Amino acid sequence: MIRAYLPALAALLLLGCSGPADDDQENPVEDTVFDDQVQTMDRARDVEDQLMDSADARRRALEDQER
C-alpha cells in the first residue's frame, strides 16, 4: 500500500524543494477596486508613524528635563 503512494510522494518532495521559478519578476500592481481603501490605510499608517515619532520626542524631552 505504501509503495503505491511512494512515487507521488517523491514527486511532491522534489517539486516542493525546487528553486524559484524562472519568472522572478513580481507581478506589477494593477488598479483595483480597493485602491481608495489601500491609499487611505497607507495615509493612516503615515499619520500613526508621525504621532509615534512625536510622542517619542515628547517623552525624550520630558526625560531630559527631569535630569
Judge whether 57 lies within some domain.
yes
Judge whether 6 lies within some domain.
no
Model pLDDT for residues 35-47, shown as the tens digit of each residue: 999 999 999 999 9
Position 24 pLDDT exceeds 60:
no
Judge whether 49 lies within some domain.
yes
Domain extent at residue 48: 33-67
pTM more than 0.85:
no
Number of domains in the chain: 1
pLDDT value, residue 30: 74
> What is d(CA 58, CA 8) in angstroms, rounded to the nearest whole number?
62
Position 28 pLDDT exceeds 90:
no
